Amino acid sequence: MFGGLSAFPLTPLTDDAIDEEAFIRSIRRLAAAGVDSITAVGSTGSYAYLSENERRRAVELAVEHAEGIPVFVGVGALRTSAVVSNVINAEKAGADAVMLAPMTYQPLTHRDVFELFKTVTELSSLPVIVYDNPSTTHFTFTTDLYGRIAALPGVASIKIPGVPVEPSAAHARVQGIRKVVPDHVTIGVSGDPVAVHGLNAGCDAWYSVIGGTLPGPALRMTRAALAGNPVAALAESDRLAPLWQLFAEFGGSLRVVAAIAESLRLAPENCLPLPIRGLNAAQRARVEQVITRLLLSP
């Protein structure tokens, strides 16, 4: 369950409330595409901006419409008590696993983060995915901390940031982590522009931003890499280079993916939670040019 392509859909908003029809459509599209899992209310799903009730409702909808595809749920919050509430709601909704990022306002220590995961694994009946996303959480895991947390009962996977592009360095990074985690814990890569290098270096899964809106190319890349065809996987990633360039130019993936979804009528206009503003008109025009050039479609 913790391998292959895990697709991260947007949680589109209309008038500051979840657009349930658009969200349901996105979940059904991912199920029809045959993704290996769906991570609802992950970073791409704006989990940090949603209330507990909004998260609960999104999870219920995802589970209901995933057609048997495993559903993972982002449960990170600033307080441990809030994390526990999110975990309980995910369990009640029928989620298959929870994904936990150590959110912070005050800087967190390694002890803080270890105890957070220890609390969740002791209380939850669901498998736990360790969510290492330093660009948003501003907390950086060490390899040693991966190992300590992965030894906790119930930890099933670790989502690591992008690995080096150079193949030997990427392989060394993945193998360095694999040496400190139990055999049953999978390693998943993120950072879409460089994800192919992690897959080719031996990662088991891709926790993918673009996979939640454009599952086709993400699936082709994942399937090629995991089938032992790194050349084909690299070719698919290289084909998407203009898209990866937009991620770099426009401050990350979220606004670009939202613009793609809005352009393709997969999400309503201005679907992101305020104060996050979407791209401006000129930037959206650039996104539409790339969509047309790459023949990307819903």
Q: Residue 40 sits in a domain of what CATH number?
A: 3.20.20.70
- What count of residues does the chain have? 298
**159 in Cβ contact with 191 (< 8 Å):** no
Residue 280 lies in a domain: no
Residue 159 lies in a domain: yes
**What is the structure's pLDDT at 295?**
80
Helix (H) / strand (E) element for 158: namely strand 155-160
Could you tell me how far CA 162 lies from the centroid of its own chain?
12
Residue 259 lies in a domain: no
Residue 249 lies in a domain: no
Residue 275 lies in a domain: no
What residue numbers bound the domain in which 146 lies?
Answer: 4-226
The three-class DSSP label of residue 33 is helix
**177 in Cβ contact with 170 (< 8 Å):** no
Residue 292 lies in a domain: no
Residue 263 lies in a domain: no
Q: What is the mean pLDDT of each run of 10 residues along the chain (298 residues)?
A: 98 97 97 98 96 97 98 97 97 98 95 98 96 92 98 97 95 97 97 96 97 96 97 96 96 96 95 96 95 82
- C-alpha distances in Å from residue 296, one per residue of 159, 168, 214: 27, 32, 8
Residue type, 137: T
Residue 291 lies in a domain: no
Indicate the number of domains in the chain. Answer: 1
